[in-house]
Amino acid sequence: MSATEASANPQATAGGIGIANLPNQLHKIVTKKGTNFSLMVVGESGTGKTTFINTLLTTELIEPLDDATRRKKQLDKTVDINIHKAELEEKMFSVKLNVVDTPGFGDYVDNNDCWLPVVDFIENQYEQYLRQEQQPVRKGIVDMRVHACLYFIRPNGHTLKPLDVRAMKAIGARVNLIPVIAKADTLSPTALRQFKKRVMDVIDAQSIRIYQPPVESDDGNSEERNREIISAVPFAIIGSTLEVKTEDGRRVKGRQYPWGVAEVENDQHCDFRKLRSLLIRTHMLDLISTTEESHYDKYRTTQMKTRKFGEPKPKKSENKKFREEEEALRKRFTEKVKLEENRFRQWEQKLIAERDRLNKDLEQEHNLVKQLESEIEAISNAGSPNNKFFRK
């Protein structure tokens, strides 16, 4: 039982009316209800998002794409939103987990606005929840609001790319953003330290809002641990679902190189355990509550200020790319129509010319026939007057 505040009346602690038992009741309720947690992963392909999720959940929730699918994805140049659902259970406590993946983000030559589908998805979940809340019957609300978004930064060792800055700014304003350094086993410890510092400097200078876990806690150990976790941001992670043997014979989850084994659960090698702790063990409920109380509330307030009750959300202007494509298609269409019209006009003229020519021919023939007829008549008139067949 967590330490409750000492009541003003020292006598109350002795017997008490039982308020101190509330946390236990809450515990029972929460245990029975379970909870719902949505996690989003954003980053260029090849940064280890799928592997990380599968490592975190110790199960292959997301299947890695095969080559053919990947090549096809390269061609369609869009950012998709894929949702993977799982139900985890540990010691009688169940969590309905939703993992939202964003393949295609940052993968193309032109990545303008590639964060828009991500931002739209986040806001749409708020919108859905808002709408459901406003219904007369509120039972069975489906809550897909994103509680945490992991942004995978490529370990280039220098600085954040402009794409990262723009995307993180847009995302961090709407959801709990946790920056993560992907594939950290390619940076030496010194380089990693410098890179982390540089990333945090840019985040501060650009006013990018990231998730700040609370430090204070009821017991001193947690505080120490919390401080450690906070100081490790952005988290350098290595992901692996394979078990390998280290030089000293231990079997660990890690990546085996000719020069050694990079271990996933070793704090000297990467920050995986700290991140897992943040996401699940220590701060999951905080992530959920900050989403509901802070981010969702902000959205709700702005929407309610500008919209009347029950009115649908105004649709944002369409994606620029779609507009461009639409324009191009329209132009092609009108050009094609013009071409066909031209073709038909020419054909028509040709037909008319042909008809005139034939008419002329016909007239000529007609004239010829007339001429011959008149000749015949002339001959017949000039011919024998005794001919019974011809009249005068």
Partner 1 sequence: MKEGSGEEQNVAPSVYSHVSRPGSHRYKSAKKGLPFNVMLVGESGLGRTTFLNTLCERVVIPPREAGNCEQAHIAEPMQFKHYTVDMEEDGMKIVLNIIDTPGFGDGIDNENCFTRIQEYIEMQYDNVLAEENRIKRNTKFTDTRIHALLYFITPTGHSLREIDVELMRRLGSRINIIPVIGRSDSLTPRELVLFKQRVMNDISANGIPIFNFPNSDDDEDEESVEENAELRAMLPFAVVGCEEVINEEGRPVRVRKYPWGVVQVDNDEHSDFDRLRYVLLNSHIADLRDRTQNGLYELYRTEKLSGTNIIAGTAAATNPAAVAPTAAATGSPVVQPPMVPQSHPVAA
Query: What are the residues binding partner 1 (CB under 8 A)?
Result: 44-47, 65, 67, 70-71, 74, 77, 107-112, 154-163, 165-166, 169, 183, 185-186, 188-189, 198, 201-202, 204-206, 255-263, 266, 268-269, 339, 342-343, 346-347, 350-351, 354-355, 358-359, 362
Q: Give 35 or 186: the residue with its C-beta nearer to partner 1.
A: 186
Q: Distance between CA 272 and CA 181 in Å, rounded? A: 11
Q: Distance between CA 223 and CA 380 in Å, rounded? A: 134
Minimum distance, C-beta of residue 184 to partner 1, in the bound complex (Å): 9
Q: Give 166 or 283: the residue with its C-beta nearer to partner 1.
A: 166
Q: Distance between CA 150 and CA 147 in Å, rounded? A: 10
Structure tokens that stand for 200 in this block: 């945090």
Structure tokens that stand for 297 in this block: 């509330």
Task: Report the alpha-carbon angle 65-183-97, nearest 5.
Answer: 55
Minimum distance, C-beta of residue 181 to partner 1, in the bound complex (Å): 12
Minimum distance, C-beta of residue 336 to partner 1, in the bound complex (Å): 9
Q: Give 174 or 283: the residue with its C-beta nearer to partner 1.
A: 174
Q: Distance between CA 120 and CA 109 in Å, rounded? A: 22
Minimum distance, C-beta of residue 166 to partner 1, in the bound complex (Å): 6
Q: Give 128 or 246: the residue with its C-beta nearer to partner 1.
A: 246
Is 44:105 a contact under the CB 8 Å cutoff?
yes
Q: Give 189 or 383: the residue with its C-beta nearer to partner 1.
A: 189
Is there a cis peptide before residue 234, judged by omega within 30 degrees of 0? yes
Q: Give 38's contacts (C-beta < 8 A, 6+ positions apart).
A: 97, 98, 99, 100, 125, 143, 144, 145, 146, 147, 148
Q: Give 112 or 381: the residue with its C-beta nearer to partner 1.
A: 112
Minimum distance, C-beta of residue 209 to partner 1, in the bound complex (Å): 15
Minimum distance, C-beta of residue 249 to partner 1, in the bound complex (Å): 15
